[in-house]
Amino acid sequence: MAEQTEQLDETIQLLSDLLQSGQDSEFIESFEALHDFEMAQVYAELPEQFRAVAWRLLPIDVLAAVFDNLDVDEVDIAGLLAEMPPQRGAQILQEMYTDNAVDLLQEMPSGQIATYLSLMPKADADSVRKLINYDDQTAGSLMSTEYLAVKEDLKVGEVMRLVKKQALEAESISYVYVLDQQGLLVGVISLRDLLTHPDDMPVSEITNDRIISVRAGDDQQEVAQIVADYNFLSIPVTDDKNHLLGVITVDDIVDVIDEEAVEDYSGLAAVNVSQINDSPWHSAVKRIPWLIALLLLGMLTATVIGSFDGLVRQVAILAAFISLITGTAGNAGTQSLALAVRRIAVGSENSGLRDFLSEVIAGLIVGLATGMSVFAIVTFWKHNMILGFAVGVAMTMAIMVANLAGYLIPLLIDKLGFDPAVASGPFITTLSDLTSVLIYFNVAQLFLVHLAGG
């Protein structure tokens, strides 16, 4: 990674020097020699005064490739586009893949969107408008309308000629979708099948009519799981009547998986980890509310400990094991939470009861193993078997409760229709602190006479 960053910096410096010295042809040649991803990175990092020259020199198709490969979550793409006259920006949007153009437009105010659409050809503008209307994080918002589709009554040779014509416009040419006379999706042909069969063979003979498709309103996470399960390079999107609306390519699925992972990790950490370049002020403001909420929950734990002040005065050694039990129970709860969120995300094949029993058994095994270990350690360390037994029993029960909380809370949140990842690690840990303290001191009270005597 460090080597790539250094190479990127060197490329930016080289291209900046070429622009500064007026070597326009050399700049264009060097820029177009880069990979599309590298072109995007370099363009975004060029000083603004050099970008003002670059967009005037570079062809529209090259600029479209640049903006196709920029990430809206990492770069102010709308700002980069706004550096140009609206007519130039509209030409770039028109040349981009439709799904990427839509992602870019959705980052803009409605007035700016209307300006760009009014400058685009009507057919292109209409395609963009259709995709903008789909809800975010659905298959419709991810799909591209640039795909290969042919009628079912053609021959292989005719299809190959059409593929050659459409290939430059299509976002992916791995699959050719077959439509009937009403425009309904009836099958799919791989490019390999087209290349390995004679030109005079009807495509109907090599069409795979077992189609795996998704609806435009399907959740993007479900779509990503289907593509991952079937190892597709793209997947068709249809309406309720099976008309082909577009395709979702694997590069968009990779973005979805990354986005979902960021959301889940943000929930588990109780902080938005996608915005790593936030200013210290904004970063702090976003963290404070959640931390204050956890502080209030933590005050309950402090209150519970305070209510057992008399017990601690009688058996002072009990205070030494509070952090041990709360910390271990919190870790167990976080582990259970991570598994529960993942199980919900991928859709566990087990029934709810089987999952529940599995978690109960796992919590019991972990609790017993940890409790027996701490029993042995405390007994050997403090030469007090009763104390070791009390701490061991409390540890076992605390871990079992934390384990079940980590499993049940995200499940409950999911049933209520919210993202289960919001049952974050810090929340489960703080809740586990409260329950484990209650368990610990109540167990200790049962052995008070023996502990005080020891």
Neighbours of 307 (CB within 10 A): 12
Helix (H) or strand (E) holding 289: helix 280-307
pLDDT at 345 over 70: no
Give CA–CA dist 280/290, Å, rounded. Answer: 16
| Side-chain-side CA neighbours of residue 21 (13 Å) | 10
Q: What is the pLDDT of residues 426-452, one digit of tens each?
A: 778 788 888 999 999 998 888 776 666
Q: Higher model confidence: residue 181 or residue 454? A: 181
**Strand pairing category for 149-151 and 244-249:** unpaired
Amino acid identity of residue 260, one-letter, is E
Under 8 Å between Cβ of 277 and 173: no
Q: How distant, in Å, are the alpha carbons of 73, 164, 279, 285 from that of 275? A: 8, 42, 9, 13
Q: What is the pLDDT of residue 281?
A: 67
What backbone phi and psi angles, to 5 degrees, belong to 137? 65, 30
Q: What is the pLDDT of residue 450?
A: 63
pLDDT at 272 over 60: no
Nearest 5 degrees, angle CA 54-CA 58-CA 63? 95
pTM: 0.62
DSSP codes, 187-239: EEEEHHHHHTS-TTSBGGGT-B-----EETTSBHHHHHHHHHHHT-SEEEEE-
Q: What is the pLDDT of residue 290?
A: 67
Give CA–CA dist 434/304, Å, rounded. Answer: 8
Percent of the chain whose predicted confidence (pLDDT) is above 70:
87
Q: What is the pLDDT of residues 370-399, one digit of tens each?
A: 999 999 999 999 888 988 999 999 999 999
Q: What is the pLDDT of residue 57?
A: 93
Q: What is the pLDDT of residues 316-331, one digit of tens each?
A: 888 888 889 988 998 8
pLDDT at 143 over 60: yes
- Longest CA pairwise span in the chain (Å): 97
Structure tokens at 277: 């370049």
Q: What is the pLDDT of residue 29?
A: 94
pLDDT at 124 over 80: yes
Helix (H) or strand (E) holding 350: none
Strand partners, 244: 238
Give CA–CA dist 422/407, Å, rounded. Answer: 13
Q: Residue 431 contacts by C-beta under 8 Å, 6 or more apart in sequence?
A: 297, 333, 405, 409
**Strand pairing category for 149-151 and 175-179:** parallel
Give CA–CA dist 430/329, Å, rounded. Answer: 10
Average pLDDT over residues 149-162: 90
pLDDT band at 279 (very low <50, low <70, confident <90, very high): low
